Structure 1
């Protein structure tokens, strides 16, 4: 075995064999050490470049993810309360459905909603009553019909980003489609913190906002004039309550969010793709119009019987021209 690895080893005198073995061992150990330190030196010499390349690769992978993800959910009216509210339906109520509606107490909107929801009805809200004028000189929002949704923004990116602007963009606006309107009018409307877009008129009318909705000094001020939204880099998600207002046209729209990250300024659409939000207007002259008159019951105007409608004469006096 030794002659295979150390040629001529056994043919040497004992002293020479010891020297031969020592030299061979030194060569082997030296080769091992040389290889180790050569590899160590190369590792050290290229470590900065490799670290830079790894970091750039990580950044590239990080940027492949969406800047942020938006999740939209409707408000939970059963939990939050209804406040003043309007229910709309795209067809007239039958005689039996009218009898059921007018048997309900108008001051109990939860029960009215349970019935209208079962028929395919939708909710339209009244605008909030602000204590301060809107930025730009408006004393109050011009829109008279409101829709609300909750917008949650979250980013899984390691690098941070800042949303510093949001713009509402109308996609389409059309005449309202509802034929039945059930109104529980306001005696006052609570202001809930969030953002407000005022979008009166049709497609050519530019939305205004978003305005801050809160009870503080910023109420009515343009939200992004004093605020920004930071996401990514371990930041918590941002939950926003969005309210949009229209007048006489139902509008489909989206948000263009402008954000900044380490690569510069970018835009992202909310909701993603071709999806839109809808803010519904209430027709001024529906086929059927029901309104709860406080302390008197239901007033009913339009193509219907007067079964259960004890406040119609009062309603006709305070709302001339409503209905047919």
Structure 2
């Protein structure tokens, strides 16, 4: 009987202890889970260059870091301006595509700057259990310098079709403040509006990832830059850099005085300016060296 009584006493004592401490243990476990959750990065950003082998803009320029040889010039001018074949030839030589500005007028804040862009896809994803809200993204220039490409190939010399996504104005030099991001959405009434004036990005807590097509535009300077994302969660307001660490994006400008300049004039053939062979360039008198888009300082 003594043994039975002791067992029953121990059982009920443990049961009482479990019940009396259950709330504290649950609270402690929840706090530990939240602490582990907050140790993770708020969100992860993934940058993907556009695949121009699958999608090539109607109007674009290719930049190269060296002049084309005589044989390469002959090959280029023999391609008759076929967009895909020109890119297929120049890409292995180190060519980079620069897209002509999509047409957006006017921007919501009165900004009139337009430049040339190197577009990329930005994907944001969070594995956090708790939700977070990105309420602003700001572009920050790290450095800007004169464009260094030596060869410029343009097909054709006209504007490009609009593209959905977000546009940042990085035009001008290192002291010119970036503006945006603006909405790019052809034919929609909110095109040209400041995106974060009316929108936020919800991540974490099982939310789907958020994908943006980013179109940063420059004029006279090639710029290295990054994004500062401002977000809030249950602990308050924070900021996170995109890309992480000391990473930057680079957006190239088209030089106004390249060593070689090739432009396909519709209906007239190639025009070739600079240190180039004039053979295969019947439209040379119809082209001029590229002029950067107009940059006007924007108040604020």
Alignment TM-score, normalising by the size of structure 1: 0.87
How many Å apart are 1:294 and its aligned residue?
0.2
SS of the counterpart of 2:224? Answer: strand
How many Å apart are 1:143 and its aligned residue?
3.3
**Counterpart in 1 of 2:267?**
295
Q: CA–CA distance in 1 between the matches of 2:171 and 2:241?
A: 22
**Counterpart in 2 of 1:39?**
14
Mapped contact 1:300–1:309 kept (Cα < 8 A): yes
| Mapping for residues 262-301 of structure 1, pairs under 5 Å | 262-301=234-273
**Counterpart in 2 of 1:5?**
none
How many Å apart are 1:299 and its aligned residue?
0.6
1:133 aligns with 2:106: yes
| Compared CA separation, residues 223 and 50, structure 1 to 2 (3 A) | same
Q: CA–CA distance in 1 between the matches of 2:268 and 2:97?
A: 23
SS of the counterpart of 2:285? Answer: helix
Q: CA–CA distance in 2 between the matches of 1:248 and 1:224?
A: 27
Alignment TM-score, normalising by the size of structure 2: 0.93
SS of the counterpart of 1:241? Answer: strand
Mapped contact 1:145–1:246 kept (Cα < 8 A): yes
Post-superposition CA distance 1:250-300 (Å, at most 9, x none)? 000000000000000000000001110011001111111100000111111
Which shifted more, 212-221 or 270-279?
A: 212-221
Deviating 4+ runs (over 4 angstroms): none
**Counterpart in 1 of 2:97?**
123
- From 183, 196, 200, the equivalent of 1:212 is 183
How many Å apart are 1:145 and its aligned residue?
1.4
Q: CA–CA distance in 1 between the matches of 2:212 and 2:157?
A: 24
Unaligned runs of 5+ in 2: 292-300
**What is the aligned residue count?**
290
- From 23, 38, 57, the equivalent of 1:48 is 23
Structure with bigger helix share is 1
Larger Rg: 1
Post-superposition CA distance 1:32-82 (Å, at most 9, x none)? 111111000001111111100000000000000000000000012222232
Larger RCO: Structure 1 or Structure 2 (Cα < 8 Å, ≥ 6 residues apart)? 2
**Counterpart in 1 of 2:152?**
181
Unaligned runs of 5+ in 1: 1-25
Q: CA–CA distance in 1 between the matches of 2:90 and 2:77?
A: 12
1:227 aligns with 2:202: no
How many Å apart are 1:311 and its aligned residue?
1.2
Cα root mean square deviation, aligned: 1.4
